[in-house]
Structure 1
Amino acid sequence: MEVCYQLPVLPLDRPVPKHVLSRRGAISFSSSSSLFGAPDPRQLSQRRGAISYDSSDQTALYIRMLGDVRVRSQVGFEPERRSSHPYLSTHCLFLSTRLGCGSTSASSAPERRVHRLLSFQRYLHSSRFLRGVPQQIPLHILDEDYTGQARCMLEKVGNWNFDIFLFDRLTNGNSLITLTFHLLNQYGLVELFQLDMVKLWRFLVMVQEDYHSDNPYHNAVHAADVTQAMYCYLREPMLAQSLTSYDILLGLLAAATHDLDHPGVNQPFLIKTDHYLATLYRNTSVLENHHWKSAVGLLRETGLFSHLPAEDSLNMERELGSLILATDISRQNDYLSRFRMHLDQENLCLSNASHRHFILQMALKCADICNPCRPWELSKQWSEKVTEEFFQQGDIERRHKLEVSPLCDRGTNTVGRIQIGFMTYVAEPLFAEWARFSDTRLSQTMLGHMGLNKASWGGLQQEQTSVPEEAEPCTTGTDIEDGNMAAAAGGTSSKEIPQGSRES
């Protein structure tokens, strides 16, 4: 339930009654309240939600329940100055990348809008604070006691109909952090690899922060969705019986970071605008290289694997890069041909480390573009989001008098047409081969959903094309095959599979 009004927040001048302290909720205070600098606010550590106190009668007014938000009094922090961030705000909060580092210049660093209600807990534990005080946060703030519906959803995280949009709302926009942390714990990887809990949490917070929330598609929710799909594939019998804990750790981290710092535009756009990333990576897998290097940068900044031997840490970074680079859709034919050859020759041996790594690459590729294989209610939302991101790029290109990229012109393309082409030339060939490799109920479910979704888009297309055909641009099946998916990745085409749609 969103807040549609703002209650006045007054100082808490009197002790909080015991019957109020027993209620669940986080508290909304003014800067003079006991939370900001008082010596002993221990009684507040178990509260959840949002309460506004009136100093005259101490009446607690519940204005919003925040789910799994907890105010922790034990966290060491300096008393806030008046008018800093003393209470929950319904306004957009601008977070500077140098916040907490002593910077006073508003223009010295880029600002980000967070379009959701932020609690003090979330504000305090944002990555910009954690970058500055990594050693001051006690381990017990990482105790994750998922409650209510979010916890129920995590118990069913292996279901293919897992609704990541609902989960993101239930976790107050922290789906990627919550999901990844839960899966790493569930596999016992934190203990097995002796990962420092503070470093791990800091890493996950920074990963989520570095996804652009203003991207309609390539954002942290997409990363969480891919991570959940990857988990489903890791549980398939062929993989579960063969993969090592090291493989699973790599697979989950690659899924969580595979689109890190995605700018919301495709590779051809970066190339034709002479973007520095295109120059840096010589116009080859530009975005994927950037995602990989961004992930490595966060690993090193947080020191997540600093306790491992240097050689092991470097190997992990390289193999992480190999997985992320496999998501380059312009190399789809190469991976698909190799996969098909292995299946035809029946020579995949998952006791071989290189073969296991290749299967991880194929699993991540499937997870990255699995949206057409989800139930219609979820698939349709993803289709609309990725198409809107295409159209936003086309708007930018038109505004700057650049040639509008294929599929990015909102005046000549529709969601249904783009999705039918993507399923026909990209998704169906890949998932057909995956079903040959892992012929399970999940594989058949994915193919079944894709067939139904394709038929649904076809029906919607027929309704939208009820106008005379001469009013529509003339488009043949060959046009769709050669140009439909070229918008997002390499800008090239193939007679077998168009090299392009970055629906990943």
Structure 2
Amino acid sequence: MKIRKRLLSHKYEPDSTEAGVHYGTKHTHLAYESEKLKEFREAEQLQAQILLQVADATRVREEGRKRTCAAEHLPGLVRAQAPCEAPDVGYPTPYLQISEVSSAEVRIGPMRLTQDPIQVLLIFAKEDSQSDGFWWACDRAGYRCNIARTPESALECFLDKHHEIIVIDHRQTQNFDAEAVCRSIRATNPSEHTVILAVVSRVSDDHEEASVLPLLHAGFNRRFMENSSIIACYNELIQIEHGEVRSQFKLRACNSVFTALDHCHEAIEITSDDHVIQYVNPAFERMMGYHKGELLGKELADLPKSDKNRADLLDTINTCIKKGKEWQGVYYARRKSGDSIQQHVKITPVIGQGGKIRHFVSLKKLCCTTDNNKQIHKIHRDSGDNSQTEPHSFRYKNRRKESIDVKSISSRGSDAPSLQNRRYPSMARIHSMTIEAPITKVINIINAAQENSPVTVAEALDRVLEILRTTELYSPQLGTKDEDPHTSDLVGGLMTDGLRRLSGNEYVFTKNVHQSHSHLAMPITINDVPPCISQLLDNEESWDFNIFELEAVTHKRPLVYLGLKVFTRFGVCEFLNCSETTLRAWFQVIEANYHSSNAYHNSTHAADVLHATAFFLGKERVKGSLDQLDEVAALIAATVHDVDHPGRTNSFLCNAGSELAVLYNDTAVLESHHTALAFQLTVKDTKCNIFKNIDRNHYRTLRQAIIDMVLATEMTKHFEHVNKFVNSINKPMAAEIEGSDCECNPAGKNFPENQILIKRMMIKCADVANPCRPLDLCIEWAGRISEEYFAQTDEEKRQGLPVVMPVFDRNTCSIPKSQISFIDYFITDMFDAWDAFAHLPALMQHLADNYKHWKTLDDLKCKSLRLPSDS
């Protein structure tokens, strides 16, 4: 056969090399020299085997002559011209019927799938015979092929096309780092199901072949030894398609199966062959009252069992399913709440590798028996069990989340029929009552609407009912801690009451109750304040007031001086009918019980919160919503809100088994202690009892308001308070401003329940207002809270306690990242809502400026408070 040498000229469009990527094209620089004779002769020997395919080969080649590139090109990238014909090597091409391979039907179990044409991305800095080989192999296989010349254009192309196969030139490093390119692609989500092939240089016979492990660690799936033969490239691609690509295609299809399982009404549980739970669907979580995180990885034997099953039932079930047979029957299961429910259960063994049982799939449905109906009722109405399995709602405006649904009371005695019969007249009277909680009315309306609704609407209303029956209607589900470790640790450290109790590691919380301590003479009245302090206090009404300057001139006693000034301005002594001497003594006692050794939670922080609270009380809309009793309660709450704080979080105290944690049952430990101690210190000595001259009714009202505000600073209720404020205050106010026909009464902000929401929001914002202070103050506060968290982490490690905020390790922590996470997660939405009500443009500008500061440091990989050059 005649061997022809052809040299096809380059065909570039302007700037094609700068674009760095060629979509659906190939520069036709192919020179077949005499060294190819051997390859051609070997191919010629194959001719006898493919004579029946000659006609089809001719058709493919003729279509190749007319084909132009059909692939799309990205904006800003140049599409180069496609070759007009395949290289003429003088013999029929043995790569036929390939389009059938690319579009072949794929089966995964009973599913029948059709795969789209394979997309291949070639990443070669320069055109050579190897890239030519892969190009023509793709062309013959019917694959869609793109070529990229630079890492940047390769990543851009991949993110646009999501190729199934990527071939990267790993033979040389002067143009780009192949392993770095692979890692950058692997860092993207679409690459999860992509096969990446490394083309490596051929090793001579006298050199030992290198290990493939570095390539695997970089993210490559396979290695291809340099070989420009088109048939070698073709064979490699076909093997990848029928191997890894097809497997990845099947895995992607499995997502639809999991979606179906997640939306199935029947409870489904999948376990391993040794009965370790591997999967449960949401219906199972609802039925059993567990969150999947409490079940996955646990053995069935470790879960509580109902005592209503006959003794030999479990043995019967195990004997049956271990033989590979399906078991069906009635089984009593115990929910997390301890109640027993009757289920119809179907357990199917799944045969896997080696012909052995690898999984058991259990399908569970509640039995519709008379005795079981009450338990079914209870499952739907038991808010405690559902609260952890369903997302919490932000939008429902019901404010009586703890109202009792009297209908659910009648189902509580289902396990004691005789008792139920004796109590029937009493239950009947309860059902005949016309008193209904708001949430009960809502649920009854939805139940009535379901009766005549289509199935899809009824199912959606079921979902609504499940959400409404949770206990925390205004709190989001905190289940996504894997996105950002700083946010995750802040949520875990501030919004939970501890991880677990470790016996033998009890943290002894020592209270040092002082009456006074000072080497600075205390003023008898506000008029006796030293001039240096008085001059600073002249500016206390400004938001930019520098609390740290006051801390310095008062020798870390700023609370007494600022407190006297602020309380005098708001007429607190007149309202409480107490002398200024009594007020001064009270401030001395309260400040003495703040720990000056704490980096953050000391009397300077208390003074700062008092200053912010006073500033907010001066805003027109806040002032118009509250009366003087509210103002006095807010100022007192701000003063005492962290008294005797140990410089450790609630989670730490609960994990350490501290006396306070035991006393307050691991719930709002510090906040409960602050309020209790504040009242104990106040009333035990008449010299500092600021409440001694007010009547009992005023005292009880004032006390309740102070307690409520201090408890609102506990972070576990953060989102509940913010969302109640948005729904009850912001939205009605916005409707009034926009002139809508909303029936909400914007004047309702003066209602007692809305005044409570305003006061809670006010002290919450004052408590964490540091990111809204001027930059220098913000930076100082950030350094102090970080140091306190560092100290806690150090102590947790020393005592062998769980480290609740691992990112706050003084050796590795990035303070800018922690501030960014705190602002994003806790501050921005809350202050947006508070600003919409109180109008605080200066604070919002400070917040934006401070966020920009932290973001700049983080972008520069700086972990400290400032750039080294600014220190």
Distance 1:192 1:271, change over 3 A: closer
Give 1:186 shift.
Answer: 1.3
SS of residue paired to 2:519 = coil
CA separation in 2, counterparts of 1:175 and 1:320? 22
Rounded Cα–Cα distance in structure 1 between residues aligned with 2:539 and 2:820: 30
Query: Which residue number in structure 1 is paired with residue 854 of structure 2?
Result: 457
1-structure distance, mates of 2:778, 2:755: 29
In structure 1, the residue matched to 2:766 is: 367
Q: Which moved more, 1:158-167 or 1:301-310?
A: 301-310
Superposition map of 1:107-256 within 5 A: 118-119=519-520, 121=521, 141-142=524-525, 144-256=527-639
Q: 1:340 aligns with which of 720, 723, 726?
A: 726
Aligned equivalents of 2:854 and 2:574: distance in 1? 46
Please tell me whether the aligned partners of residues 796 and 803 of structure 2 are also in contact (alpha carbons under 8 angstroms).
yes
1:444-474 superposed Cα distances (whole Å, 9 cap, x missing partner)? 21111111111111222233359xxxxxxxx
Q: Which residue of 2 aligns with 1:318?
A: 704
CA apart distance, 1:147: 4.2
Superposed CA deviations along residues 3-52 of structure 1, whole A, max 9, x for unmatched, are: xxxxxxxxxxxxxxxxxxxxxxxxxxxxxxxxxxxxxxxxxxxxxxxxxx
The separation in 1 between residues aligned to 2:649 and 2:709, in whole angstroms, is 19
With 302-311 and 162-171 compared, the bigger mean Cα shift is at: 302-311
Q: What secondary structure does 1:464 align onto?
A: coil
Distance 2:609 2:643 in 1: 12
From 710, 714, 722, give the equivalent of 1:328.
Answer: 714
Q: How far apart are the structure 2 equivalents of 1:191 and 1:378?
A: 33
Number of corresponding residues: 336
Partner Cα distance (2:612, 2:603) in 1? 14
Structure 2 Cα separation of the partners of residues 210 and 335 of structure 1: 28
Residue aligned with 1:282, SS: coil
Spell out, residue by residue over 1:336-360, the C-alpha distance to the aligned partner (whole angstroms, 9 max, x if none).
Answer: 1101112223345243233223211
Q: Distance in 2 between matches of 1:203 and 1:110?
A: 16
Q: Counterpart in 2 of 1:437? A: 837
1:408 is matched with: 808
1:212-257: CA deviation from partner (whole Å, max 9, x where unpaired): 0000000000000010011110010102233222111111111111
AA matched with 2:787? E
AA in 2 matched with 1:411: N
Instruction: Work out whether 1:354 is the aligned partner of 2:753.
Output: yes
Aligned residues of 2:793 and 2:803 also touching (Cα < 8 A): yes
Whole-Å separation in 2 of the counterparts to 1:393 and 1:178: 30
Cα distance in 2 between the residues matched to 1:109 and 1:458: 40
- Amino acid of the structure 2 residue aligned with 1:340: V
Larger relative contact order (CA 8 Å, sep ≥ 6): 1
Q: Tell me, in whole angstroms, the C-alpha distance in 1 between the residues paired with 2:518 and 2:591.
A: 17
Change in CA separation of 1:143 and 1:445 when aligned onto 2, cut-off 3 Å? closer
In 1: Cα distance, 2:862 partner to 2:575 partner: 57
Deviations along 1:131-190, whole A, 9 cap, x unmatched?
A: xxxxxxxxx933533343422322221111110000122233321011111111112221
Q: Distance in 2 between matches of 1:154 and 1:388?
A: 28
Query: Do the aligned residues in 1 keep the contact of 2:511 with 2:644 (CA within 8 Å)?
Result: no
Distance 1:403 1:164 in 2: 35
Q: What letter matches 1:370 in structure 2?
A: A
Asked if the contact 2:577/2:694 (under 8 Å) is kept, the reply is no
* Larger-Rg structure: 2
Q: Which amino acid counterpart does residue 830 of structure 2 have in structure 1?
A: L
Structure 1 residues 109, 283: CA separation in 2 closer, same or farther (over 3 Å shift)?
closer
For residue 379 of structure 1, report the CA deviation from its aligned partner.
Answer: 0.2
Counterpart-to-counterpart distance in 1, 2:780 and 2:679: 31
Match of 2:789 in 1: 390
Q: Distance in 2 between matches of 1:465 and 1:205?
A: 41
Checking the alignment, whether the CA contact within 8 Å between 2:586 and 2:682 is kept in structure 1 is yes
Task: State the alpha-carbon separation in 1 of the partners of residues 723 and 859 from structure 2.
Answer: 34
Distance change >3 Å, CA 345–CA 193, structure 1 → 2: same
The AA in structure 2 aligned to 1:262 is: H
Is this contact kept in 1: 2:513–2:593, CA < 8 A? no
TM-score between the two structures when normalised by the length of structure 2: 0.37
Report the Cα offset of residue 315 of structure 1: 2.6
Shift of the 326–400 alpha-carbon distance from structure 1 to 2, 3 Å rule, reads same
Pick from 380, 388, 407: which aligns with 2:779? 380
Deviates more, 1:282-291 or 1:170-179: 170-179
Does structure 1 retain, via aligned residues, the 8 Å contact 2:771–2:850? yes
Contact 2:542 2:615 in 1 (8 A): yes
- Summarize the Cα distance change of 1:274–1:170 in structure 2 as closer, same or farther, 3 Å threshold: same
CA contact (8 A) 2:513 2:592 kept: no
Q: Compared with structure 1, are the counterparts of its residues 338 and 110 closer, same or farther at alpha carbon in structure 2 (3 Å cutoff)?
A: closer
| Matched residue type, 2:644 | D
Kindly report which structure 2 residues correspond to 1:56-95, keeping only aligned pairs within 5 A, or say none: none
The residue aligned with 1:493 is none
2-side partners of 1:111 and 1:277: how far apart? Answer: 15
Q: Does 1:447 align with 2:833?
A: no
Which amino acid in 2 is paired with 1:427? Answer: I
Partners in 1 of 2:690 and 2:531 — Cα distance?
A: 31
Whole-angstrom distance in 2 between the partners of 1:142 and 1:447? 36
Give, as a single letter, the amino acid of the residue that structure 1 aligns with 2:702: M
Is the Cα contact below 8 Å between 2:526 and 2:564 reproduced in 1? no
How far, CA to CA, are the matches of 1:377 and 1:391 in structure 2?
21
Instruction: Tell me, in whole angstroms, the C-alpha distance in 2 between the residues paired with 1:315 and 1:299.
Output: 16
Q: Where does structure 1 lack aligned partners over 5 or more consecutive residues?
A: 1-107, 123-139, 467-504
Q: Percent identity between the aligned chains?
A: 28
Letter in 2 for 1:448: Q
Question: Aligned partners of 1:260 and 1:332: how far apart in 2?
Answer: 20
Q: Which structure carries more strand by proportion?
A: 2
